[in-house]
Chains A and B, each alone.
Chain A
Amino acid sequence: MAPRVSRREAGQRGTAPSIQRQIWTRSHPASSATVPRVEWAHHLSVLQFVLATLGISLVAGLAGSLLGLGGGIIVVPVLTLLFGIDIRLAVGASIVSVIATSSGAAAAYVREHMANLRVGMFLEIGTVTGAITGAFVAGHIQVRWLFLIFGLMMGYSAVEMFRHRKHEEGGVVPPDRLADRLGLHGSYYDQTLGRQVDYRVTHTLVGVGLMYIAGMVSGLLGIGSGALKVPSMDLAMRLPIKVSTATSNFMIGVTAAASAGVYFARGDINPLIAAPVAAGVLVGATGGSLLLPRLKNHWIRLIFVVVLLWISIEMLWKGVRGT
């Protein structure tokens, strides 16, 4: 494959860059298959790449902090498909994006009682043990079936959330003695309703079980941590939607931080890719945390349903295709 050099480049430095690229391509045959496919990315300067990534990450942080998702669903496809970046480096950048989403919004969510720290911390028991289990069973499990099962599960959650999109926040829920004992019930001020919403938590054990599954799945498949957490809290535990996304947002950062150390040690976190992702997502997530209180509850549910359907279709597709 003949390496292409941008016109400006060729004018400036003669043939040096093309030789450089040839040497590089020859010594790295594995990555050469993925990189030259996105030809136009080679015509970008690093500055242009950094600025473009910064802009996209702003959007990812905004959306992620509103919906309680990590933003990996935006960052990974953009980096790999648009810029031709190696998947390992893209995943490394996405783990940074998850932490940045979580941390950027957490300060405001904790202060305004939007995130329920007690619920988050208790459910985190399920998530971390699930993640560790996932690491152990990886390789013994047919990933393809997992994609199919969880694709269906997320599709079902999306339909259920759509049906309950007009759910009243803080309605009557079945009593749960564990939630009483742990003091999980809470209260937050809802700007759009113009009142303090007192809510009670139910089905705590079911929630922990679902979090265990969510932790295992995200450990095995690399996606779906927030996408399973929010419906579990919304549908099973009956938390208000804003509390669900804010609490999920709080939790995903904690879980991602544990794996981030591993990615760092492996060298999967590339400074020039991860820096614009981190900066953009942090600013976007801070904006999202200011926006969330002003959004109507059923709108958040609707946007979440659309994203959830998208993830579900993506997972089913991966399952059908068998990768």
Chain B
Amino acid sequence: MNDPSPAHPRNQPPADLVRKVELLISNLLRVGVVSSLIVVVIGLVVSFLHHPGYIRSATQMHQVISDNHRTWHSLSELGPGLLQFRGEAIIMAGLLLLIATPVMRVAVSIVAFVVERDPIFVIVTSFVLAMLILSFVLGKAGG
């Protein structure tokens, strides 16, 4: 399919396998993105249905744009909110899904490089994933 250029290291696996893995990553990304988009939009619609004031009155705007409107920022808060079908909680769940896609992308790439028999990149990608987790933990400790 491609020319036998030195674009890839030696003893590489069949090109169609590599292509399959690429398509798998691409499709996984699309599923993650589309589902998070759907969840966020459902959440928005539900919030408007629950709060008719959001649609016409201007009073609730300052609640939304002000600093004190801080809710749904822990998983323990999010669970019950989802069970009660609260719009804001559904939005947050969709946003978390969105935040998770790039991390999933890195994790899946590790598998992909294993399939492609590419030890250097298995190490590179694992290192990146480890650093991502480390920075998340450090950030949480610091913040």
Contacts and interface: CB of A to CB of B under 8 A. Distances in A.
A106 B30 CA distance: 8
B135 A275 contact: no
B88 A271 contact: yes
B114 interface: no
Interface in B48-106: 48, 51, 53-74, 87-89, 91-92, 94-96, 98-103, 105-106
B136 A282 contact: no
Contacts of B41: 275, 279
B75 to A, nearest CB: 9
A249 B54 CA distance: 34
A86 B67 CA distance: 6
A46 B55 contact: yes
Contacts of A43: 58
B99 to A, nearest CB: 5
Interface in A182-198: 182-183, 185-187, 198
A287 to B, nearest CB: 13
B132 A128 contact: yes
B95 A45 contact: no
Interface in A235-287: 253-254, 256-262, 264-267, 269-276, 278-279, 282-283, 286
B142 interface: yes
A259 B48 contact: no
A128 B131 CA distance: 6
A8 B128 CA distance: 54
A264 B61 CA distance: 21
A135 B84 CA distance: 38
Interface stretch (A20-28, A152-160, A300-308, A311-319): A20-28
Nearest to B7: A185
A121 B121 contact: yes
B83 to A, nearest CB: 17
Nearest to A283: B37
A129 B131 contact: yes
Nearest to B37: A282
Given A13-B59, A254-B106, A47 B135 contact: no
Interface string B1-36: 011011111000000000000110111011011001
Interface string A1-42: 000011011001100010011001001101100010000011
B79 to A, nearest CB: 15
A45 B143 contact: no
A270 B69 contact: yes
B115 interface: no
A102 B40 contact: no
Given A187-B2, A279-B40, A254 B105 contact: yes
Contacts of B91: 271-272, 274-275
A180 B6 contact: yes
B66 A35 contact: yes
B29 A106 contact: yes
Contacts of B43: 271, 275
Interface in A102-122: 102-104, 106-108, 110-111, 117-118, 121-122
Given A135-B138, A186-B7, A271-B91, A8 B132 contact: no
A99 B26 contact: no
B17 to A, nearest CB: 15
Nearest to A122: B124
Shortest 10 CB-CB contacts between residues of A and residues of B: A262-B139, A267-B70, A46-B54, A267-B73, A271-B91, A128-B131, A253-B102, A183-B9, A257-B102, A17-B59
Given A17-B59, A257-B101, 13 more contacts: A9-B57, A31-B68, A46-B54, A99-B98, A110-B29, A125-B124, A128-B135, A181-B9, A187-B5, A269-B92, A271-B47, A271-B71, A271-B89
22 contacts: A43-B58, A46-B60, A49-B61, A111-B26, A128-B131, A135-B142, A182-B120, A257-B132, A258-B136, A258-B139, A259-B135, A261-B140, A264-B99, A265-B143, A267-B73, A269-B92, A271-B71, A271-B88, A271-B95, A272-B44, A278-B40, A282-B37
